[in-house]
Amino acid sequence: MIPIARPVLGEAEAVAARKAILSGWVTQGPQVKTFEDTFARIVGARFACAVSSCTAALHLALLAVAVKPGDVVITVSHSFIATANAVRYCGAEPVFVDIEQDTYNMDPDELEKVIKEYCISRGTELYYKHVDRLSVGESPLRYLGIPVDFNSHAAGRVAAILPVHQMGLPCDISRIVGIAAKYGIPVVEDAACAIGSDVSLNGGETWERIGKPHGDVACFSFHPRKILTTGDGGMITTNESIMDARFRRLRHHGMSVPDTERHESRNVVFEDYVTTGFNYRMTDIQAAVGIEQLKRLDDILVERRKLASGYGEIMGSIPFRSFLG
């Protein structure tokens, strides 16, 4: 049997985890900070905030761009279930658009079609017209008492666009961001599998790392099936300090000061709980493993590209339709 993905872990990760354990500081602390700083540098983002999974990252990213109960988020169904689940955690409902046949990612033409044909502008905001059709099954919209009089503006606001870089293959992020900007909608990139992926916005002249980010926020996974692993774990990148501050508060119970700051202070530091937060922290043991994993990134990518081109050679001649029967 061919394993779908085997994590590349070795002595370096085992030593790093041991050191973190013996240091006495095992939850979010100095290793997490180093992991975040290194990750931000590698993808070219100003800020990187480590969390417990990509699912947690998506949840916080959607909250941070102000997705609220009753809203909708435009995304794709061709993804792992966590993409759509994160939308529902916010009390919102996903609206799915179709994917491109050659990249398996969000089709920008379909995105524009959904916006033009199924949404209407009200003031500065865009509303999905058929919100009553979404209010079924486990949809959080049902618990908001929807369907309601749609003209009351109670539901259906298009709060975000959530494209996925499926299997690490970048979506057409430049067109998607362009469409989003036209309508003033934030973009959260599900980059769960895209650590180390590059994208060109100028026809191949120059390349940029996914996670820079090109939208407002990008979310990564360190589940063992991904390029790098910390057992479980996630990372959120952004270039906006206000957004980064929100992630840090929300991942740590909404607490106004991090544990490290309180620990290092010579005075008693009283914290405030300024918002309803979550326990989405990454541990220092995971981050210590992650720091070692980042050192392997280039080698892992070389190996994965070699394997991919091998599969490409063997399977390239099989017409797409023959997979579908």
Q: Does 75 bind ligand PLP (CB under 6 A)?
A: no
- Give 135 or 230: the residue with its C-beta nearer to ligand PLP: 230
**The one segment of 77-85, 143-151, 285-293, 300-308 that binds ligand PLP by CB under 6 A:** 77-85
In this structure, the strands spanning 125-128 and 119-122 are antiparallel
Is residue 230 at the binding interface for ligand PLP, with CB under 6 A as the rule?
A: no
Site for ligand PLP in 147-206 (CB under 6 A): 164, 190, 192-193
Closest CB to ligand PLP among residues 164, 243: 164
The answer to whether residue 82 forms part of the interface with ligand PLP (CB under 6 A) is yes
Rounded CA-CA distance 165/81 in Å is 14
Q: Looking at the DSSP assignment, which residues form a beta bridge with residue 235? A: 50, 220
Interface residue with ligand PLP, options 54, 67, 159, 227 (CB under 6 A): 54
Query: Regarding beta strands 72-75 and 158-162, do their DSSP bridges make them parallel or antiparallel, or are they unpaired?
Result: parallel
Inter-residue contact 222 to 233 (CB < 8 Å): yes
State the residue for tokens 């379909």.
110
Q: How far is CA 251 from CA 6, 45, 186, 244, 285, in A?
A: 29, 19, 21, 11, 17
**Binder among 7, 70, 186, 234 for ligand PLP (CB under 6 A):** 234
Q: With respect to ligand PLP, which residue has the nearer C-beta, 75 or 238?
A: 75
Q: Does 79 bind ligand PLP (CB under 6 A)?
A: yes
Token pair 């394997």 is found at 307
Cβ proximity to ligand PLP: between 190 and 208 the closer is 190
Instruction: Tell me the two tokens of residue 16.
Output: 């790093």
Task: Print the binding letters for residues 14-43 with ligand PLP: x by CB under 6 A, - otherwise.
Answer: ------------------------------
If one asks whether residue 61 binds ligand PLP (CB under 6 A), the answer comes out as no
Dihedral of alpha carbons 39, 41, 44, 49, sign = positive
Q: How far is the CB of 69 from ligand PLP (least distance, A)?
A: 22
Q: Which of 28, 31, 53, 238 binds ligand PLP (CB under 6 A)?
A: 53
Q: Which is nearer to ligand PLP, 238 or 286 (CB)?
A: 286
286 part of the interface to ligand PLP, by CB under 6 A: no
Q: Does 236 bind ligand PLP (CB under 6 A)?
A: no
Note the helical H segments in the chain: 11-23, 30-43, 54-64, 81-89, 108-118, 131-134, 140-143, 173-183, 241-251, 259-264, 284-315, 320-324
Instruction: Select from 197, 188, 204 the least CA-distant residue to 167.
Output: 197
| Distance from the Cα of residue 315 to its chain's centroid | 30
- Segment near ligand PLP (CB under 6 A), from 12-20, 78-86, 117-125, 134-142? 78-86
**237 counts as binding ligand PLP under rule CB under 6 A:** no
Segment lying near ligand PLP (by CB under 6 A), choices 75-83, 137-145, 254-262, 298-306: 75-83
- Contact predicate 167/195, CB 8 Å: no
Per CB under 6 A, 221 contacts ligand PLP: yes
Residue of 224, 295, 275, 273 lying closest to 39 (CA atoms): 295
Closest to ligand PLP by CB, 165 or 246: 165
End-to-end Cα, the chain, rounded Å: 23
Min CB(124)–ligand PLP separation in Å: 30
Binding site for ligand PLP (CB under 6 A): 53-55, 79-80, 82-83, 164, 190, 192-193, 221, 223, 234
